Structure 1
Amino acid sequence: MINSFITNAKSRIAKRRRYNSLVAEIQSLTPRDLADISANRSEMLHHAYQEVYG
């Protein structure tokens, strides 16, 4: 039971780190960068969430 809790906690922490990393990368894009790749920041953030959390 405790092993399960620890495993789940480690998994949640790893997912959160991955998500935070993706968000930081997306947030670092300038409006010009987004325009160059025809991207929308909010859509990218949504896709990042979906990638990490499903």
Structure 2
Amino acid sequence: MAPRRGRLDLGGIRPAGPQEEKTLMDAENVVGLFIALALLGYLVTALIKPEKV
């Protein structure tokens, strides 16, 4: 995808100006953490108690 015209490429450096305040754990991080822990719990349970066929 080509960069838009008239836009300065800052090479990944954020411009100075008002910074967005970041909270320690925003909702997106909490949801991701919950899903990761649920998946980890499921995999550990499947490892310890596998299904018997």
TM-score (ref. length: structure 2): 0.46
TM-score norm. by structure 1 comes to 0.45
Bigger-Rg structure (1/2): 2
> Normalized per residue, which structure has more helix?
1
Q: Which structure is higher in RCO with an 8 Å CA cutoff and minimum separation 6?
A: 1
